[in-house]
Amino acid sequence: MIIAAFILFVPTIIHKVALVHNDYRLKSMKDQVLKIIKKVGLEQFIHDEPDSSFASYNILKEEYISIVPTSIPLTDIKIENSLRSIDNEVVDYRVLDCTFMDGNQTYLLEIGRSLATVEDFDSTLKKIAFYVLILGLSITVIIDIAFSKYLLRPFNRIIEDKLITAKHPETFNYTPINTNTTDFKYLDDTINEMMRKINDAFLIEKEFIANVSHELLTPISILQTRLENMLADSSLSEESALKIIESQKTLNRLNKIIKTLLLISKIENDQYLKNDNVSAKTLVNEVVTEIEERFTEKNIQLKLAIEKDFIIENCNKYLLFTLLFNIVNNAIKYNKENGWIHISIKENKDFYTLEVQDNGVGIESENIKFIFDRFKKFNKTETESYGLGLPIVKTIANFHGLKVEVFSEANKGSTFEIIFAKK
């Protein structure tokens, strides 16, 4: 605001200064001329003829000096703007009129400087003022920035090194920031302390999950190897062998359930990183390659419609693969004989959609809101799944900040949409 006021008043001030300077110059010239006249005598300029006068001006008509005999009485010095005609050209001048006596005659001394020169001077001054202003502003701004950068450096270091780059409590940078300012030191120490607490809680949870994993999976491991060895016994009757096979299947079911629950716990405890960047088209192709032989059993047709490929940034490739695999696997499992599956990627203003559509048995509308609940199974003939496929999908989607929408009609089919928001 001060600068704005400054900018408004400066031109006026400069203009006044230019005028004052000019008038001062005129007066100084007048003094000099009078001094010269006194010294060399007026006869040098005014000859002894009637109506003799003196006028001098430069080619550019920027200045003129004229001495004219006059009959007006002696007056004070007058300075004003006036038009004068010289050589048939009319020019605007700042004129100083001064009367003086020489002998018995009063003379009018006029000194004029063209307003153009005053303007010149005026604009030169303005230019200088402008440059000084710019220079002053720049220096001020530079000093301000440098100073604040220097003063705020510890603060910026804290934000940069600790908050922005903190992806995970385990990779947090605890080195104290170099500063003498108590406030910054306190901020730094507090952030370090908070992070340590978060990391402790995280490690306790991680240790718990690892312990549970070990305690549950070790007995399963013992049973599995024991059953495998029993089966290898050649003296085993066929009936006993079949019973052992059934037990192995049961054990496998238990194993898978525990593994899935542990996976969900680990994802929810943030034990997975999101450091991968993967092309959506590549992901779809990988899942299709892995699963395509399952299409042949029910003679399912697969159609891919990848309108636009995009890169999924900061994700976990293994988890996204698992997510998509489970959705497509469901589309196969709940499909009809000779059915189809369409996988497409569409783009819209705010997001990309990865869609998996099938024309299978569909989901009853009253059941749709429960499909992501754990252990929920709706298809009464479905005995071979343990109902954790869609909960895994939901957990992985939440972990990545993705939305999953389901549209379905009984006996018509289902559509699963995974929505990726654009940055």
Partner 1 sequence: MNVLIVEDEKSLAKEMNIFLKKEGFVCDIAHTGKDASEKIFVTPYDFVLLDLGLPDYEGLDLLKETKESNQDAAIIILTARGGTDDKIKGLDLGADDYLAKPFSLLELHSRMQAIIRRKHGLKKNNVTIREFEIDLQNRTIHCKKTPVNLTKKEFDILHYLVLHKNRVVTRLQLTEHIWGNILEDDYDSNYIDVHIKNLRKKLSTYDDIEWFGTVRGIGYRLEI
Enumerate binding residues for partner 1 (CB under 8 A): 206, 209-211, 213-214, 217-218, 220-222, 224-226, 228-229, 231-232, 238, 241-242, 245, 248-249, 252-253, 255-256, 259-260, 262-263, 266, 271, 290, 293-294, 296-297, 321-322, 325-326, 329-330, 333, 384-389, 392
DSSP 264-311: HHHHHTT-S---EEEEHHHHHHHHHHHHGGGGTTTT-EEEEEES---E
Q: CA–CA separation, 421 vs 350, rounded Å?
A: 6
DSSP state of 344: E
The encoded tokens of residue 28 equal 């100084």
Inter-residue long-range contacts of 400-405, CB under 8 Å, 24+ positions, other chains counted: 400/274, 400/315, 400/316, 400/319, 400/320, 404/372
The residue to which tokens 């299978």 are assigned: 360
CB of 277 to partner 1, least distance (A): 19
b/e sequence 325-360, b meaning 16+ C-beta within 10 Å: bbbbbbbbbbbeeebbbbbbbeeeeeebbbbbbbbb
Taking the least distance from each CB to partner 1, the nearer of 222 and 421 is: 222
Q: In the β-sheet with 403-409, what is the strand arrangement from edge to edge? A: 301-306, 340-347, 351-358, 413-421, 403-409
Q: What's the CA gap between 330 and 157, in Å, rounded?
A: 49
Q: Tell me how far, at minimum, the Cβ of 415 lies from partner 1, in Å.
A: 19
Max Cα separation, the chain?
A: 159
In whole angstroms, the minimum distance from the beta carbon of 174 to partner 1 comes to: 20
Least Å distance, CB 261 to partner 1, is 11
Nearer to partner 1, 12 or 229 (CB): 229
Q: For partner 1, which is the closer residue by CB, 32 or 225?
A: 225
Nearer to partner 1, 341 or 392 (CB): 392
- Distance, first Cα to last Cα, the chain: 38
Cβ–Cβ under 8 Å, residues 301 and 373? no
**Least gap, CB of 311 to partner 1 (angstroms):** 23
* Cβ-based nearer residue to partner 1, 219 or 401: 219
| Residue 326 or 414 with smaller CB distance to partner 1 | 326
How far is it, in rounded angstroms, from Cα 249 to Cα 231?
13
Q: Give the separation between CA 287 and CA 320, rounded to whole angstroms.
A: 10
Q: What is the DSSP string of 227-278?
A: HHHHHT-TT--HHHHHHHHHHHHHHHHHHHHHHHHHHHHHHHTT-S---EEE
Q: How far is the CB of 341 from partner 1 (least distance, A)?
A: 16
Residue 271 beta carbon to partner 1: minimum distance, rounded to whole angstroms: 8
Return the number of the residue (126 or 333) whose C-beta is nearest partner 1.
333
Q: Which is nearer to partner 1, 26 or 327 (CB)?
A: 327
With beta carbons less than 8 A apart as the criterion, state whether 94 and 115 touch: yes
**Which residue number, 293 or 350, has a Cβ lying nearer to partner 1?**
293
Adjacent-strand bridge partners of 100: 107
**Cβ at position 419, least distance to partner 1 in Å:** 22
